[in-house]
């Protein structure tokens, strides 16, 4: 099984987090100043290379200057959750308590920070090896049985290889001493509990997509400051920003002008359809009506945007332009707005219509613009965009 250590891949999302935890774990495993690891008595058996919850809590409080025992227990539980040590007797538990519960350090070969290429093949070999051993001690759990059945379907083309590898590893394991088999078995099982947890458990390998996106595109400090400086210089040059006081005044004036048109804030003629059963207002406020209301006409006087965003206002303005023989300018404006709001797939087609109707020589509705602007527009129509 290929592995790549965390030190070889500095760009891993949580490499710094793993490095800090590993420094603590390495200090815990120091021969003299670390956590006392020894053979522990458990009923009628002896558990090799183990330590208790009291040992790990006392070491954290003494060596890391942690005053609160609850904080020490929390740190120990996190290290256990990430698989740096594990329960010897209780399978899968990660909560550390100040008691005589036995734990064992995980081998560095099985650390999470090591970038394992653990795919379905490795997991299938591990599960198959478990099925070859004593079912009472090494039997598969329910979610592992389901996982093995799924892997048989996925790896059907190489299942003979999986079986052969599992049998070979089982034969090698049988030749080891009983103590070594116990330690290796517990380490391997703890590793796969971290890499392939049960469906009702969270995985330490999961990462927030926002943090992943942030760390996958790191930015140097000098580059970030340079971008910030360019942004501020551009802001000073353009001077497009307004004071907050002016913005507040403009917003207040805008809402005061349009408050009469809000059926929740003001009175609606002939009646408010949100409060009564009369729906005449809906009929009067249709996009196209023969006789617009006085309130609607008054809204057109606010600005050209209000007038040209109302289909009835466009119709009435078109009548005025016909009387003044200037309908080509209004049609040109409406076609340009249509290009801005149309799908990208239709943009080139609509741009050709604008050129053919308003800009081409002897166009039926040619607009009155100078040659400089006409040349610029025609050049942009070669690659139209919003």
Residues 6+ apart with CB under 8 A from 325: none
CA 344 to chain centre: 28
Q: Is 337 helix (H, G, I), strand (E, B) or coil?
A: helix
Quickly count: other Cβ atoms within 10 Å of residue 329's Cβ. Answer: 15
Beta bridge partners of residue 105, listed in sequence order: 85
The domain spans of the chain are 1-116
The token pair at 195 is 């890499």
**Residue 66 backbone phi and psi in degrees, to 5:** -95, 120
Return the CATH class of domain 1-116: mainly alpha
Q: What is the largest CA-CA distance in the chain?
A: 108
Which helix (H) or strand (E) segment holds residue 61: the answer is: helix 53-63
Q: What is the pLDDT along the chain (386 residues), one digit of tens a residue?
A: 444 444 444 445 577 888 889 999 999 999 889 988 888 887 777 888 888 888 889 999 998 988 888 898 999 988 888 888 888 876 556 677 777 888 888 888 888 877 566 788 888 988 988 888 877 677 788 888 888 999 988 888 899 999 999 889 888 888 888 888 888 888 888 888 888 888 777 777 776 666 555 555 556 778 888 888 988 888 777 666 677 888 899 889 888 888 877 777 766 666 777 777 777 777 887 888 888 888 888 888 888 888 888 889 888 888 888 888 788 888 888 888 888 888 888 888 888 888 888 888 888 888 887 888 878 877 877 777 76
Of 254, 264, 263, 266, nearest to 302 by C-alpha is 254
Q: CB atoms < 10 A from the CB of 85, how many?
A: 22
């Amino acid at each position: 099984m290929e592995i790549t250590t965390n030190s070889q891949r500095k760009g891993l999302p949580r490499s710094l987090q793993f490095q800090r935890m590993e420094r603590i774990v390495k200090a815990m495993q120091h021969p003299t100043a670390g956590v006392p690891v020894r053979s522990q008595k458990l009923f009628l058996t002896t558990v090799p290379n183990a330590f208790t919850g009291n040992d790990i809590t006392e070491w954290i409080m003494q060596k890391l200057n942690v005053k609160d025992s609850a904080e020490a227990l929390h740190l120990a539980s996190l290290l256990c959750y990430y698989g740096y040590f594990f329960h010897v007797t209780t399978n899968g538990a990660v909560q550390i308590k100040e008691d005589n519960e036995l734990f064992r350090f995980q081998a560095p070969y099985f650390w999470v920070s090591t970038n394992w290429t653990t795919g379905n093949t490795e997991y299938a070999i591990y599960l198959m090896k478990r099925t070859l051993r004593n079912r009472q001690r090494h039997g598969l759990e329910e979610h592992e049985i389901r996982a093995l059945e799924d892997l048989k379907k996925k790896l059907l083309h190489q299942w003979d290889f999986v079986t052969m590898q599992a049998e070979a590893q089982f034969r090698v394991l049988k030749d080891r001493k009983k103590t070594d088999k116990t330690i290796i078995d517990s380490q391997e099982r703890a590793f796969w509990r971290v890499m392939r947890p049960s469906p009702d458990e969270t995985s330490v390998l999961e990462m927030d997509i926002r943090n992943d996106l942030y760390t996958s595109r790191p930015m140097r400090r000098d580059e970030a400051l340079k971008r910030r400086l360019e942004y501020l210089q551009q802001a000073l040059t353009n001077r497009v920003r307004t004071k907050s006081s002016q913005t507040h005044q403009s917003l207040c004036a805008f809402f005061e002008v349009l408050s009469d048109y809000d059926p929740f804030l003001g009175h609606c003629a002939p009646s408010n359809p949100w409060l009564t059963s009369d729906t005449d207002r809906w009929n009067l406020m249709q996009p196209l009506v023969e006789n617009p209301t006085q309130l609607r006409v008054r809204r057109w006087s606010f600005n050209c945007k209000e007038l040209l965003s109302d289909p009835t206002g466009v119709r009435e303005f078109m009548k005025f332009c016909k009387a003044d023989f200037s309908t080509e300018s209004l049609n040109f404006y409406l076609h340009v707005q249509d290009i801005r709001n149309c799908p990208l797939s239709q943009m080139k087609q609509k741009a050709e219509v604008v050129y053919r109707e308003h800009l081409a020589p002897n166009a039926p509705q040619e607009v009155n613009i100078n040659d400089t602007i006409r040349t610029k527009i025609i050049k942009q129509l070669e690659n139209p965009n919003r």
